[in-house]
Structure 1
C-alpha cells in the first residue's frame, strides 16, 4: 500500500510540475507536423517549416468541412 501511495504521489508531483511549466512558460502548445497542416495547400509545414508531401493521404482524409473550418480559424488567429 505504501509503494502505491509513494508512486502516486511522485506521479502527481511530476504532472503538477509539468502543468505549471506549461502555464508559466508563456508559450502555446503546438500540434505535430502533418495533421491539419496537411490539408492546407501550403508548401511548408506551419510548425517545423519542412516541405509538405503533396501526395499525403492525410489531405484526402482531412478534407472535410470541420477540418476546413478549423484550418480557417487557425489562419485567422495567425494572420
Structure 2
C-alpha cells in the first residue's frame, strides 16, 4: 500500500508541475495546422497562415460535409 501511495504522490506532483508550467507559459491553446482548417476552402491555414495543399485528400473527404454544404448554400443565397 505504501508503494501505491508513493507512486500516486510522485505522479500527482509531476502532473501538477506540468500544469503549472503550461499556466505560467501563458500560451493559448490553438488548433492544428490543416485538419479542420481546410474546410473553409481558404488558401492559407487559419492558425499558422501557411498555404494549404490543394491536393490534400482531407479536402475531398470534407467536401461532402453537411456543414460545409450548408455554408455554401448560405453564401450563394447572400450573393
| TM bracket, shorter-chain basis | 0.5 to 0.7
How far apart are residue 4 of structure 1 and its match?
3.8
Gaps of 5+ in 1: 70-79
Q: How many residues align?
A: 68
Over alpha carbons, which structure has the higher Rg?
2
Look up the SS of the partner of 2:13 in the other structure: helix
Which residue is equivalent to 1:49? Answer: 49
- The TM-score normalised by the length of structure 2 is 0.57
Gaps of 5+ in 2: 72-79
- The TM-score normalised by the length of structure 1 is 0.57
The RMSD of aligned alpha carbons is 2.8
Relative contact order (alpha carbons < 8 A, sep ≥ 6): 1 or 2 greater?
A: 1
Question: Structure 1 runs of 4+ off > 4 angstroms?
Answer: none
